[in-house]
Structure 1
Amino acid sequence: MKKPNYISPGDFSTTFFDGVLRSKEFDDIYFSPLNGEEESNYVFLEGNNLRDRLTINNNFTVGELGFGTGLNFLLTWKLFNDLKLNNTYLDYISIEGYPLPINQINKIYERYPKLVKLWIELKKEMPPLWSGTHRIILNKGRVRLTLIYSDALEALKLSNFSVNAWFLDGFNPNKNKDIWSMDVMQEVYRLTKPSGTFATFSSAGFVRRNLEQAGFNVKKIKGFKFKKEMSIGQKKGKKQHNKIFSKYVIVGGGIAGASIAQALRQRGQSPLVIEKNDKLAQGASGNIAAVQYPRLTTVNTPAGRLSLSCYRFSRNLAKKLGVAINDKSIIFSIPEREAIKHNKLLSQGWPKDLIRKISKEDKLAIANFDFNLNGIVHDHGGTIEPVKFVNNLMPDDIEIIFGKEIHGFTRSTEGWTITLSDKTKIKTEILILTCSDGLRKIKQTSVFNLQYTQGQVTHLDENKFKNIPSTNFSFSGYLTPPVNGIVTVGATFEKNSNERSYITEEASNINLNNIPNEIFRNIFSHNVNLNKLDGRVSMRVSTFDRMPMMGQIEDNLYILSALGARGMIMAPLLGEELASIMRKNISENFIWYV
């Protein structure tokens, strides 16, 4: 049995015979093939009084230990749909150390006609078997499934969410004692809202004692059918009521602003967006093409976990919005420090569909010949169209003010009063800053120690190539396949330079000279003129440790910025996360598994 870690989830042997899926290691079935639906309904949904509680909670969060086949989630989702509730949202957070392959789960739901339609819908969104956090949006944003593929105790310790009801659904406590340990139950209690509940099929003495010592009021009730007993319980305390706001203003119409606007709209809100330019995606989000791939780390770090979670979410979203080119992402082992890192990553046992060694076929896709360069490939990665991404993501039924800058904002009785460049004043309860270079012009954010870096990309007409690359590749820069006939090569990193809006031949030469010689001479046409090329320049802002800024600056003032060159990867999931924080859907500081 392979245990889960930050590189890959765990794996153990299973058998499937006559409708029964069984774990060999724990010698236990996932659920009864005779009455699995009834048992799960009785133990977890009825055990937590879910039907009644969903009708009186606008935002309800279920936590689960043991996703398994997803049966409990599908039943909860079905109940949520059957209740036909208006303005109600369901968050379902499930931790699973040993996720099952899709083909195994498929066999199960062939036997469950009541759930097969929901399973087919969920199956389209299920993530690869990669460690970490995977957010899935269903029911147009009204249902959010967060799968955390990790060791349970590690995931719980790294999490900060608040649960209304827990489904404790690990394997038999006598055979899988770790998930029922005192340490795990203490974390479950910490992450439970006051008056929150749990339910489990187990009535084992040590399980009940651990739950009681963690702080729960525990009692035994009649078990399902022939099972004598099961356990339910509740955390002491009164239910907390958070103030819900309805007026939101987002400053910035790039990928960060669009991501937050979409997330708020899915939660029933209509934010106002203020964009200083005359259309969306005119800053760092405005390039013709961009590349999506994760920044994996050879050791378990918050940066590595965050990058992987954001990558999966953003890449999937780009495909759904029709802005992804059907290619992959190749990163060459240049310079030497990258070669050392790549060799380490390739030796660590990461899933092959996440990262693998470059092949001859990959090289042929770039230059139509096999050259002598090493590298890695992310098959789920690829090229996107950023401007289209932003426009397709931004809701089309919200108000956007174009051509106005904010000159400042002050506290008001409602929250904030914003003054625009034409002296117009706008009042809002919540203000969200997603601008980049504009941060240094705002009093409240000008004190941040940020790095402002100018970057220029170079545009090449595809007729300059004798071999047009069919996939993107990165070196000390990057080169993309053509988008509307234009190949993008980028990008310079001009630290501490004077801000400019014009392109320079010097910057174009830097971009072109970074292309490895083995590739350069085989992709461009003979005697091609590479002078006076077109391009684009924009300002990027980042923190010095390259981690993004997302969260609350002060009461009712929030930020999503400092994304550097990773906005197209980071912003969509962080925008979704920030909306959860602002709407109090999960907790005031809902940072999961980071």
Structure 2
Amino acid sequence: MADHNPENTPQTEAVLDWHDGDMPYSRAFDDHFYCRSDGRLECGHVFLAGNGLPDRWQRKAPFRIAELGFGTGLNLCETWRQWRGTAPEGASLHFTSFERFPMARADIARALAHWPEIEHERTILADKWPDAPAGRVEIDLAPGVRLTVVCGAALESLGNETTPFDAWFLDGFAPARNPDMWSAELMAAVFRLTVPGGRFGTYAAAGFVRRNLAAAGFVVERRPGFAGKREMLCGERPVG
């Protein structure tokens, strides 16, 4: 979920505490991995609705989602759950996430067990997740559903990508705790890798995040945030 590397933090794995039994907390970034009220519902409000989903994936052409910050895999699992119930027959989903510190299988399974609604997705993800995730992790989750997790610094990883995405979930740790994940350079890379008419959604509403997204070329929209949070951001890469 992070791009910045605090001193004394291991390079390849998330270092966690656990709050309330099953809520992972990053020691490196002094922050929770998702909204404390309900991260699954937050995903639906911010990332799916912010990207106009599931409406925009009602097509036969492959739909490509990218995410900054895989974390527990919660956004993947909730997206996949909604995809299973709404995607047209024969459609395909490719979900790509960029993650500096991938979590261990047991930690992913523990965190996602909080939501019985995604038990089907959690079980498959945990079963297929590698013991030592590194490099480019490719997992076929189900017919027509593929997961790619690119382990490493986000800016470098995005620099190696060439195929643009239909939707972006911008889900790094809070901008105040991890400003590198919201930099002008990274937002420009996100814009480059967005199809014309493609969208992004993020819980972040900090002024410098909004300015960096707009400077990259996105038309940025403010919407009410989740669970009483005043604002979130979403937007579109203009067509033409």
Do the two structures share a fold, i.e. TM-score over 0.5? yes
Q: Within the alignment, does 1:158 sit opposite 2:160 as a pair?
A: yes
Contact 1:9 1:99 (8 Å CA) reproduced: no
Q: Residue 85 of structure 2 corresponds to which residue in structure 1?
A: 82
In structure 1, distance between residues paired with 2:60 and 2:220: 23
Give the Å deviation of 1:65.
0.2
In structure 1, distance between residues paired with 2:239 and 2:176: 32
2:213 to 187, 191, 211: 211
Q: Within the alignment, does 1:42 sit opposite 2:22 as a pair?
A: no
User: Counterpart of 1:114 in 2: which secondary structure?
Assistant: helix
Q: Residue 115 of structure 1 corresponds to which residue in structure 2?
A: 118
In structure 2, distance between residues paired with 1:122 and 1:14: 20
Q: Residue 198 of structure 1 corresponds to which residue in structure 2?
A: 200
Q: Residue 184 of structure 2 corresponds to which residue in structure 1?
A: 182
Contact 1:9 1:131 (8 Å CA) reproduced: no
Contact 1:3 1:10 (8 Å CA) reproduced: no
Q: Within the alignment, does 1:54 sit opposite 2:65 as a pair?
A: no
2:174 to 167, 172, 175: 172
Q: Residue 228 of structure 1 corresponds to which residue in structure 2?
A: 230
User: Counterpart of 1:178 in 2: which secondary structure?
Assistant: helix
**Counterpart mapping for 1:295-314 below 5 A:** none
In structure 2, distance between residues paired with 1:57 and 1:236: 23
Contact 2:60 2:90 (8 Å CA) reproduced: no
Contact 2:201 2:234 (8 Å CA) reproduced: yes
**Counterpart mapping for 1:103-142 below 5 A:** 103-140=106-143, 142=144
Deviations 1:67-89 (A, max 9, x none): 00001000111111011521211
In structure 2, distance between residues paired with 1:188 and 1:133: 18
Larger Rg: 1
Give the Å deviation of 1:118.
1.2
In structure 1, distance between residues paired with 2:232 and 2:44: 13
Unaligned segments of structure 2, at least 5 residues: none
Q: Within the alignment, does 1:20 sit opposite 2:16 as a pair?
A: no
In structure 1, distance between residues paired with 2:36 and 2:231: 20
Give the Å deviation of 1:3.
4.4
**Counterpart mapping for 1:51-450 below 5 A:** 51-56=54-59, 58-140=61-143, 142-237=144-239
Structure 1 pair 11–122 and aligned structure 2 pair: CA distance change class (3 A) = closer
In structure 2, distance between residues paired with 1:42 and 1:129: 32
TM-score, length-scaled by structure 1? 0.38
In structure 2, distance between residues paired with 1:12 and 1:146: 18
Contact 2:24 2:33 (8 Å CA) reproduced: yes
In structure 1, distance between residues paired with 2:87 and 2:98: 27
| AA aligned opposite 1:26 | F
Give the Å deviation of 1:35.
1.4
TM-score, length-scaled by structure 2? 0.92
Contact 1:9 1:130 (8 Å CA) reproduced: no
In structure 1, distance between residues paired with 2:232 and 2:193: 22
| AA aligned opposite 2:84 | N
In structure 1, distance between residues paired with 2:142 and 2:103: 24
In structure 2, distance between residues paired with 1:203 and 1:221: 9
Structure 1 pair 207–76 and aligned structure 2 pair: CA distance change class (3 A) = same
Deviations 1:314-359 (A, max 9, x none): xxxxxxxxxxxxxxxxxxxxxxxxxxxxxxxxxxxxxxxxxxxxxx
Contact 1:193 1:235 (8 Å CA) reproduced: yes
Select the structure with the greater relative contact order (CA < 8 A; seq sep ≥ 6): 2
Give the Å deviation of 1:110.
2.3
Q: Residue 574 of structure 1 corresponds to which residue in structure 2?
A: none
Give the Å deviation of 1:33.
4.3
In structure 2, distance between residues paired with 1:213 and 1:220: 16
| AA aligned opposite 1:23 | S
Contact 2:106 2:126 (8 Å CA) reproduced: no
In structure 2, distance between residues paired with 1:71 and 1:41: 11
In structure 2, distance between residues paired with 1:67 and 1:147: 7
Deviations 1:38-89 (A, max 9, x none): 1111000111111111113521100000000001000111111011521211
In structure 1, distance between residues paired with 2:201 and 2:220: 10
Contact 2:200 2:234 (8 Å CA) reproduced: yes
Q: Within the alignment, does 1:32 sit opposite 2:30 as a pair?
A: no
In structure 2, distance between residues paired with 1:43 and 1:195: 18
Give the Å deviation of 1:17.
2.1
Give the Å deviation of 1:134.
1.4
User: Counterpart of 1:164 in 2: which secondary structure?
Assistant: strand
In structure 1, distance between residues paired with 2:99 and 2:14: 13
